[in-house]
Amino acid sequence: MGRLGPWTPTTVEERLDRMESLAEIRQLPYRYALALDSRDMDAVADLFVPDVRVGRDETGRAALRRWYTEAMRASRTTIHQVTNHIVDFDDADRARGVVYCRDQLERPSTGQWEVGELQYWDDYLRVDGEWCFRRRKFHRWYLADALSRPAHGTGVNDGSDPLGARQLPESFPTWAPYWESADSRRTHA
């Protein structure tokens, strides 16, 4: 597998298309952050495939728009700062990515700010010539009061964040095997 995923373009046109696709895909998380922070739920929904799955029972951009409209009311103000973005192409029209993000949330009831670190694990799909999110999985290291030092897992799935998150770094498939191998070396030393 190459540094841009398992798909390797073979022609000049395919290579150019992959470069343009990479630029378009990298815009998705930035546009998502801007749309969330400006509360432009139409723009958020338009970044996803038309038949996006919303929860267990709904699909489509209208359902996604309703879900985000409600979920974003848990925070008065948000600031999403997108940083690292890794993209792997599965073929010319499908890709996956990992996006790092630092977020800040102002709680409407108290006016207090929380700060967190998170990742999105994305699937991208080209639909009618446009790259879209097919799915975003939400993972979080922590979400803590801006004036406190966060401990491992602070604020993850405690009800303060409308998005259910998987705990990082334990969600990485390589995390447990890495530490298990270190433990076994210590045991056999």
pLDDT digits (tens, 9 = 90+) for 36-67: 999 999 999 999 999 999 999 999 999 999 99
The pTM score is 0.83
How many domains, the chain? 1
- Region 119-146: mean pLDDT is 95
Residue 175 binned pLDDT confidence (cut-offs 50, 70, 90): confident
CATH number of the domain where residue 36 is located: 3.10.450.50
For the stretch 112-122, what's the b/e string if a residue is b when 16 or more beta carbons lie within 10 angstroms of its beta carbon? ebbbbbbbbbb
CA neighbor of 124 nearest in space, from 36, 55, 31, 37: 31
Residue 110 within a domain: yes
Residue 73 within a domain: yes
Residue 188 binned pLDDT confidence (cut-offs 50, 70, 90): low
Round to whole Å and give the CA distance between 133 and 96. 9
Please provide the average confidence, as pLDDT, over all residues in the chain: 89
* Structural domain boundaries enclosing 180: 12-187
